[in-house]
Structure 1
C-alpha cells in the first residue's frame, strides 16, 4: 500500500486534523541508513510528523526542518519536508541498541534529554524558528508541547512505528489534531473524551486501520469532513552537483590536499546515504570552477 496523508476538518472547522500511514517511507529510510530497531522507530516517528507538518505549508517552495538534539546514544535526528510531503532524514548514530522498556522500543532512552527545533523556511527574509525542551523524548508528546508553546495551537500528536521480528517495518503512521482558537467547550470536551479511548497508534494501525478510520475514531461525533488525500514518500533530491557544493565549502586548501593524495574521494549524502565518487581530475575541475 502506498503511503498517504488524509487532511480533514471537524466540528464545523473548529478542528483541523491530519492522519498518515507511512510504512513504505520508514522502511525506505531504514534500508538507506541500516538503522537499528530503536533508531528506526525514532527516525520513523519524526519522518511521519515531518510529512504531516510539511503538508500544512502553503507554498511549493516552503521547507520544514525538524531537529532533535538529545544527550542519549542516538545523538540527534534531522528530518526535512516540503509542502508536497516529500521527506528525508537521518539519525546521528544509526546502530544504537537498547533493551526494551515496558515491552516497547525505548525511543525516549535513545533520544535522551535535549531540545526540539522546528525551522520553517517560507521564502521570507528569515526562516521561522521555534525551539522547546523535550518533555518525554518520545517525540509525539514533544511535538504536542511544541505546538502549544511555540505556535500557541492546542494539539494532540500520536506517532507510532511497529517492527517485525526480522527488523523490517511492519506499520508506521500517526495523527495531528489541532484546535482552532474559536473551538467551543463542548467540542474540546468531546475530543478529549475520544483521545482517552485511543491507547496506541501502532495498535490501531496493526489492526488494519487506514488514516481515514483513525480520524473517524479520534473525531467520532464531531462531524468529520475529509478535505483531501496527499501522497507522501521518502525522497532525497541529492545529486552529484549538489554534493559538489559541500566539497567546495570545505575550502580550496582541503580540496588541494585531496588532490595531492592522488586518490578518488567518496562523499555520502547525510539524508539518504547515497555515495558520490570524485576523481582527482574532477576535484581539479571543482577548484577551477570555485575561483
Structure 2
C-alpha cells in the first residue's frame, strides 16, 4: 500500500478527521539517516502528525515543527509545504530504548519532556506565525494534542504509531487525528472517547493492511472523505540552493575556504546528501556577490 493521507468530516458527531499511512516514507528516512528503532518511531510519529497538521492549513504554506525534549535523541525537525512531501531528521539517530514492562519502544524516554513543541508557519506575511507549548510526555501524540488544545484552542485526539521489525525495517507507520467542531455536544465527546478507547493501536491496524479510510470507518460508520493526498519523504535541497546560501556568509569567509581548503563540502541534514564546491565554483560565487 502506498503512503497517503485522507481528510474527512463526520457530521453526525460534529468533528473533522484525518488519517494517514507513512510506512514507506519512514523506511526511506530510516535508510537515509541510519535510524535505530526508537529513533525511527519518534521521527515516524512526528512526520505523521506534521503531515496531518499541514492538511489543516488553507494554503500550502511552509510549516516547520521542532521538538526538543532534552532527551538523548536531541532536536527533531520536520518540514513540509502541505504538498504531501516531507523532510525531517533527528540529531542523534542512534537511539534505542524499550519499556521494561511492555517491551514497546520508549519514545518518551528518547525524546524527553523537559522542552517544547514549536510550530512555525510561513504564511507569506512579514513574520511567520510561531506557536510553542511545553512537552507533556515526549510520546509525540500527547504533545500534539496539547498543542492543538492550547495554541489553537481546538480539542483534538492525536493517535500516531510505528511498528519496527527485528531487523529495524519499518513494518507500519501512520496515525489519525479527530478534531471537535464548535457544534460538538457532550454526547459527541463521549462517543469519540469510547471509539478511541476501543480502537486497536493504529500501527497494528496499518500492519494488518487497513487503509486510512478503513481506520476512520472503524471509528465512525458515516465518515465522509473529502480529500486524499499521496505522501513522500522528499528533500528539496540542491546545489543551486546551497550556492545561494554560501553567498550569505560573505567574501571573507569564502576566500578563507579557498585559501585553506581550495573548496568546501556542505551536508544536508534532511537527506544526508553531500555537495562539493571546487575552488573555481567558490570564486564564481564571490564574483556573483
TM-score range, shorter chain: over 0.9
Partner SS for 1:78: strand
* Partners of 2:71 and 2:248 in 1: CA distance: 30
Query: For the Cα contact (< 8 Å) 2:96–2:105, is it kept in 1?
Result: no
How far did 1:58 drift? 2.0
How far did 1:99 drift? 4.5
2:50 aligned residue: 50
Partner SS for 1:213: helix
* Partners of 2:250 and 2:139 in 1: CA distance: 39
* Partners of 1:73 and 1:250 in 2: CA distance: 31
How far did 1:137 drift? 0.2
Query: For the Cα contact (< 8 Å) 1:43–1:89, is it kept in 2?
Result: yes
Aligned residues: 287
Query: For the Cα contact (< 8 Å) 1:11–1:187, is it kept in 2?
Result: no
Q: Which runs of 4+ in 1 moved over 4 A?
A: none
User: Is 1:15 aligned to 2:15, yes or no?
Assistant: yes
Query: Structure 2: which 5+ runs fail to align?
Result: none
Query: Structure 1: which 5+ runs fail to align?
Result: none
1:131 aligned residue: 132
1:98-154 per-residue CA deviation (whole Å, 9 max, x = no partner) reads: 344431111111111210001111112222111101101000000001000110000
* Partners of 1:97 and 1:190 in 2: CA distance: 36
Alignment of structure 1 residues 66-105 onto 2, 5 Å: 66-101=65-100, 102-105=102-105
How far did 1:253 drift? 2.4
Distance 1:186 1:245, change over 3 A: same
1:205 aligned residue: 206
- Range with bigger deviation, 210-219 or 261-270: 261-270
* Partners of 2:82 and 2:110 in 1: CA distance: 29
* Partners of 2:258 and 2:84 in 1: CA distance: 40
How far did 1:228 drift? 2.1
1:254 aligned residue: 253
* Partners of 1:106 and 1:255 in 2: CA distance: 44
* Partners of 1:253 and 1:259 in 2: CA distance: 10
Partner SS for 1:203: helix
* Partners of 1:280 and 1:16 in 2: CA distance: 55
Partner SS for 2:253: helix
2:120 aligned residue: 119
Query: For the Cα contact (< 8 Å) 1:58–1:83, is it kept in 2?
Result: no
1:109 aligned residue: 109
Query: For the Cα contact (< 8 Å) 1:52–1:85, is it kept in 2?
Result: no
How far did 1:49 drift? 1.1
2:5 aligned residue: 5
How far did 1:174 drift? 0.3
- TM-score normalised by structure 2 residue count: 0.95
Query: For the Cα contact (< 8 Å) 1:66–1:117, is it kept in 2?
Result: yes
1:37 aligned residue: 37
Partner SS for 1:25: helix
Partner SS for 1:194: helix
1:137-173 per-residue CA deviation (whole Å, 9 max, x = no partner) reads: 0000000010001100000000111112111111000
How far did 1:199 drift? 4.1
How far did 1:204 drift? 1.7
How far did 1:4 drift? 0.4
Q: CA RMSD in A?
A: 1.5
Partner SS for 2:116: strand
* Partners of 2:96 and 2:15 in 1: CA distance: 39
* Partners of 1:82 and 1:12 in 2: CA distance: 31
* Partners of 2:253 and 2:35 in 1: CA distance: 31
User: Is 1:155 aligned to 2:156, yes or no?
Assistant: yes
- TM-score normalised by structure 1 residue count: 0.94
Partner SS for 1:126: coil
